[in-house]
Amino acid sequence: MSNARLDRVGHTSGATILRVAKISISLDDALYQRIRRAAGKDGVSSWIADAAAARLRKDILHEVADEIAEATGGPFTEQEKEEARKWLLWYSTPER
């Protein structure tokens, strides 16, 4: 069982309610200061949540890539990697 505390957060623009887990993490002070500067007005929690979500997406992409490589008989060619990079850049860019 997780040690995270779950809170309900309501939004004034409707009936949307999100479950938010409150956690505590320990960071090297220099790393924390860099994150704080990078986060700016969005705040450290939001910045870390975005970073965690990005890492999870990356992990999933690696899993899928490994599955595709295994199913197709080997590692990707340089051309296939370049095509994948272009596709990922196109589909991960907001407001194309």
Q: pLDDT by residue (tens digit) across 26-84?
A: 999 999 999 999 999 999 999 999 999 999 999 998 999 899 989 988 888 999 889 98
* SS3 of residue 41 by DSSP: helix
Residues of the domain holding 47: 5-92
Q: Against a cut of 0.95, is the pTM above it?
A: no
Q: Provide the pLDDT for residue 90.
A: 85
In this predicted structure, the answer to whether residue 15 has a pLDDT above a threshold of 60 is: no
The tokens describing 22, both together, are 């409150």
**Helix axis angle, 29-39 to 44-72, nearest 10°:** 100
47-56, long-range: CB within 8 Å, 24+ apart, which pairs?
none
Q: Say how many domains are in the chain.
A: 1
Q: Provide the pLDDT for residue 16.
A: 65
